[in-house]
Amino acid sequence: MTSTDVLDVRAKAQREKRRRRIASIIYIAIGITLFFVAWILLSLEVSPWHYDIPPPFGAVGPFQDILNGVWGLFQEEGAIAHFWHNLGYSQDMKIKFVHACPDLHPSNVNNPFRQVVSSLMGWKYTSETAALTGGPLPVPIGQLPDYCYGYATHLVVTIIRILLGAAFGTIAGLAIGLSSLVFPKVAQVFTPVASFFGTAPIFIAAPFFVIWFGVEVPIMTTIGLVTFYTTLLMYFFSRRAAENIPVGIVESALTLGGTPRSIFRWVYLPGTVPEIAGGFRIALAGAWGLGVLVEVLGIQVGGGHLIDIWRFLIGQLQAPSALVALITFYGVLAVVVDALLLVIIRYLTRWSEAGRRLGL
Amino acid sequence: MSRVVSFEGLWCVFEHRSGQLVNALHDVNFEVQPGEFVCVVGRSGHGKTTLLRVLAGLQPPTAGQTRLGEQVVEGPGADRAMVFQQDTVFPWLHVRENVEFGLRALKVDDEERKRTTAHWLEAVGLTDFADSWPRELSGGMRKRVALASAMAVGSDVILMDEPFGSLDYFTRRNLHDVLLDLWEETQKTIFFVTHDIEEALILADRVILLAEGKLVDDIRVDLPRPRDEDVRASTGAVDITKTILAHLGITEEEATQV
Amino acid sequence: MSLTRLLRILFWVGWVAWFFVSALLVLAVSTVSPLGDWRFEEGELHLTWLFIFLWAVLFWAYTFILRFRASIATVRKIGKAIRGLPQRIGRAAKANPLFFITWAVLLVGWQITSYIAPKGTLEHPLVPGFDYIIYNALYRLSGNWDLFGGFSLGGLTVLFGELAPFPAIEGAESRTWTAVFLALGFHSFMTLSRLVAGLGVGLIAGLVTGLALPYWSALRQISWAPFNFLRMIPLLAAIPWMQFALGVDLRATTLFIGFGVWVMLVVATMNAVANVPDRYIESARTLGASRLRTYLKVIVPGAMPELRTALLLAGGLGWSLTIAAEFLGFPTGLGFMAAAAVQETNTARLVIVAIVVAFYSLLTFYLLNQLFNRMVSWMPQRTSGTTDISKVAGAAGAAGRAGDQLHE
């Protein structure tokens, strides 16, 4: 064996690696294709679930229609098509009185934070709307700007609420969880309470939020519940993460002259990041469903309200399309946010084996 | 029934993440007669474990081949049972089931299997612990279980990859005696990887020295057994130690010069 | 040895059979003896307390007769545990007084809040005190005792009117505490049966699929994308669609809860399989085990310890889905009681439902933990490598204080 042979070995290894990577991409593509094939098959007229499951893209009947489905992405009956048609302004939504213009609420007119958010989200904040908001709510339906009749504003509102709730909850949960490392009394007080509320299904807390905040401050219902849930989860994850730090490391830090503060800053804080980050992913994944469902229970603006509307119109032909489209949207959203999180977590925990293994 | 183990022009090239190529094995050629006790000695990262994994069939070589008699090694099999450096006793099986594991795979009939298992548990002195969970045993006892499982499948060749590295001195000495007794009784070929020269002197018929993947020396250890302190202090033993140290020392000097 | 096992299986099978046989025996009593105060006419059974009492006695008599000594031992054990309870609580209070102080403060705080909180414009107070919860809301729960249609089991219809009057028919005067507990029992039974069916199907399907798929590398990679997408779909948001597509019956909840648990467990199990240490697999291979054998005897048991969290999460998910599904459109179950409470904006009733559900879900977690421990009895208890944070943090605090004193 000579040096050229060795180079050969290297080329072979690289070919092998590339082959494996291409194979895994092909497998994933096959998986996605099969997923859609199954969906299309379930939505065919021969399927017993024909009335419950709309086709993913456009009208899909027998074979020619399957082909047609590829180009018929924006035809009326498909789930994706339905979503696309109702995203901006839609006559349909206007007929059903489904509108969402949170920036029209009187309390928001003089709120600079809200104005910034509204402009970022492309909500027009004109003198016309300002004049409208001067009057008592609800604003007469016919006078709302067109962009109020569509899914987009509802969905954006819900996403922002859930993310805000998750952010508040994470801050609170980590504050309590990590401070309990330095002050053990905090843990003695908080753990029994948290484990009681944590083991009861979180959804049982939702009605309290609906009754307490649903009428007066509807925005607090979603944010409050998501905050509550995230606080509990993040408290547990931060505790468990700290418990998994080997005792030797902490003791060695103590013998090196560590003070509670320096141990907290340089041992606990970085050492717990991988598990806390993994916990945050779990918490956020749960928060989507929770945030949306609490809105189904009776909030007038938000993605959950859309589901609620279609729930009552369930007899209509469009309803399955609408429901499936909205559910799929939340699923895709969760995947996208999760993927973004994964990139950030990978960077934060590049020193850790567990961090690199996250998400396969 | 026992067969000659031969390594023929064995190369093993790994690619580091940085793209750098490392020769874990560099043209290794040698033969081992049936019933020999061979110790493979070298510094860590110099190809000892790779050699053993190639023989076990866990690692395909880049070039060359390994043979047992006429048969070329192509994958792992019960004719070359291996005892690992880490704890590989299955924690979810009782001690007895651990020893039976290989026999069940070989589809040995019940009576034969029970007899063999009892025999090997007796041989390693664990009869009283046959129905314990591995977690209830000490590290040294778990190694005995691993040894018994490897012996029980009836392979011609036993491969041991620094098996006693993580144990304390006394346990290790005790296990050396157990292993030598078993070897004398069964006359199996044993490959024993170690970085401990004293261990090699106690156990080996023959020491294979590896440095940077190359076979640098092949030393016969013709000391009388049992190799107690006196034997190991004799001139012959000291000479062998010196030879080994010289080989390893030279490479160290080379490393510092570069 | 195999004979004792056979007898044991026979014992349990027999007990299940006896459950039905003893009921039939009690049914027969009313026809031969004037003692029975229950009526059994034309396939309709008017259930009474005496019937239930006799049935229970007969049912437990089975085990007391066949396994007298074990039964007595169990009764003794339970009695001992109950007698030792005050002592144990006292010891716990001494060891961790803050636990009790926290709860006392919370409960008293709630009561005080109920006096000072705004009553609101609604019929019920926004923050109900415990007096209101127990004497008003809990007592009114008897209104949920509304099984007038009876319960149909094949050819047999069981009627419950004799157990307690139905306040929904006979008016508010006929409220009884018996009816309160019957209502709670009935709705709990509905919820628990939905949960157990769904969780059972989901757990079995999830474990089987999750352990089978990774055996074929191609199948594992193909199923990766669909399963991870399905896992991310917020199932709670899908409940309205589920009710539309599947309807509102036991089959629907079983499919729905089972589906959620299944997807979650498949992903968790596949991860667990991927995390089995290589050394066990290599060791099995060098001992001559085939691929299938290595998989069944090494990889599958090796993946179990990682499933504890997944199992507990599955329990939590099952509860969430059950309660939420009932909330949005079932006429029975604890979730329905919560929904009715929201309709009346009755927070006091919500508190009651929350306490009941919390009790059941704690029980579920306990049972799942037991199931898991039985599955992995070989697993070493974690004793090393972890740290009692409170001790170490306390030590850190002490070290810090000592350091401060030195500086002074």
Cβ–Cβ < 8 Å for B173, B204: no
Give the model's pLDDT for residue C398: 44
A74 interfacial to chain C (CB closer than 8 Å):
no
The partner residue sitting opposite A327, judged by closest CB among C231, C237, C365, is: C237
pLDDT 10s digits, A89-132: 777 777 777 777 766 655 555 666 665 665 555 444 444 444 44
Residue C266: band (very low, low, confident or very high) from pLDDT cuts 50, 70, 90: very high
**How close does chain C come to A309, measured CA to CA in Å?**
10
- Best to test chain C binding among A52, A193, A204 (most C CBs inside 10 Å): A204
The partner residue sitting opposite C285, judged by closest CB among B76, B93, B106, is: B76
Query: A195-204, A289-298, C183-192, C367-376: lowest mean pLDDT where?
Result: A195-204
Under the phi-then-psi rule, with left for phi > 0, alpha for psi from -120 to 50, and beta for the rest, what region is A99?
A: beta
Give the model's pLDDT for residue A122: 46
B51 interfacial to chain C (CB closer than 8 Å):
no
Residue of chain B whose alpha carbon sits nearest to that of A13? B15
Give the model's pLDDT for residue A130: 45
Average confidence (pLDDT) over A258-278: 80
Average confidence (pLDDT) over C149-171: 81
Model pTM?
0.81
Give the model's pLDDT for residue B19: 67
Distances (CA, A) of A318 to A53, A77, A104, A313: 11, 7, 29, 9
Number of Cβ within 10 Å of residue C310's Cβ equals 23
Q: In this structure, what is the dihedral angle of CA atoms C362, C376, C257, C337, given to the nearest 10 degrees?
A: -10
Q: Which of B67, B98, B87, B92 is nearest to B5 (CA)?
A: B67
- Best to test chain B binding among A9, A10, A14, A356 (most B CBs inside 10 Å): A9
Q: Is pLDDT of A170 > 90?
A: yes
Question: Using CA atoms, how far apart are residues C286 and C298, in angstroms rounded to an integer?
Answer: 13
pLDDT 10s digits, B170-221: 989 999 999 999 999 888 899 999 988 888 989 998 999 998 888 888 888 8
Give the model's pLDDT for residue A210: 82
Give the model's pLDDT for residue A14: 81
Write down how long chain A is: 360
Give the model's pLDDT for residue A74: 47
**Please, which residues have CB within 8 angstroms of residue A224's CB and are 6 or more apart in sequence?**
A165, A209, A213
Average confidence (pLDDT) over A173-194: 84
Please report the residues numbered 287 through 346 in chain A whose beta carbons come closer than 8 angstroms to any beta carbon of chain C. 288-290, 292-293, 296-298, 304, 307-308, 310-311, 314, 319-320, 323-324, 326-328, 330-331, 334-335, 338
Give the model's pLDDT for residue C17: 95
Question: Using CA atoms, how far apart are residues B152 and B161, in angstroms rounded to an integer?
Answer: 18
Percent of residues, chain A, with pLDDT higher than 70: 74
Q: If DSSP codes are grouped into helix, strand and coil, which group holds residue C263?
A: helix
**How close does chain B come to C298, measured CA to CA in Å?**
7
Residue in the structure block whose two tokens are 């000594």: C69
Tell me if C357 and A200 make a contact (CB, 8 A cut-off).
yes
Average confidence (pLDDT) over C346-361: 89
Handedness of CA A49, A53, A59, A63 (dihedral sign): negative
To 5 degrees, how large is the angle CA A5–CA A10–CA A14?
145
Percent of residues, chain A, with pLDDT higher than 90: 11
Q: Print pLDDT tens along chain B (258 aa).
A: 578 899 988 888 887 766 677 778 888 899 999 989 999 998 888 888 899 999 988 888 888 889 988 888 888 888 888 898 888 888 888 899 889 888 888 888 889 999 999 999 998 989 999 988 888 888 889 999 999 999 888 888 999 998 888 888 898 999 999 999 999 988 889 999 998 888 898 999 899 999 888 888 888 888 888 888 888 888 888 888 888 888 876 554 554 443
A360 interfacial to chain B (CB closer than 8 Å):
no
Q: Is pLDDT of C395 > 70?
A: no
User: ipTM, 2 decimals?
Assistant: 0.81
Give the model's pLDDT for residue C205: 95
Residue in the structure block whose two tokens are 């980590």: A174
Give the model's pLDDT for residue A215: 58
Average confidence (pLDDT) over C110-120: 83
Give the model's pLDDT for residue C120: 67
Give the model's pLDDT for residue A138: 45
B30 interfacial to chain C (CB closer than 8 Å):
no
Average confidence (pLDDT) over A316-321: 76
Residue of chain A whose alpha carbon sits nearest to that of B27? A1
Q: Is pLDDT of C390 > 70?
A: no
Average confidence (pLDDT) over A187-193: 83
pLDDT 10s digits, C118-148: 776 677 888 888 888 888 888 888 888 888 7
Cβ–Cβ < 8 Å for A305, A219: no
Q: If DSSP codes are grouped into helix, strand and coil, which group holds residue B6?
A: strand
Residue A142: band (very low, low, confident or very high) from pLDDT cuts 50, 70, 90: low
**How close does chain A come to B76, measured CA to CA in Å?**
22
Average confidence (pLDDT) over A195-200: 77
Q: Is pLDDT of C166 > 70?
A: yes
Cβ–Cβ < 8 Å for B150, B186: no
Please report the residues numbered 244 through 303 in chain C whose beta carbons come closer than 8 angstroms to any beta carbon of chain A. 244-246, 271, 274-275
pLDDT 10s digits, C1-38: 578 889 989 999 999 999 999 988 888 877 666 777 78
Give the model's pLDDT for residue B119: 92
Residue A267: band (very low, low, confident or very high) from pLDDT cuts 50, 70, 90: confident
Tell me if A5 and B21 make a contact (CB, 8 A cut-off).
no
Give the model's pLDDT for residue C258: 94
Question: Using CA atoms, how far apart are residues C97 and A138, in angstroms rounded to an integer?
Answer: 53
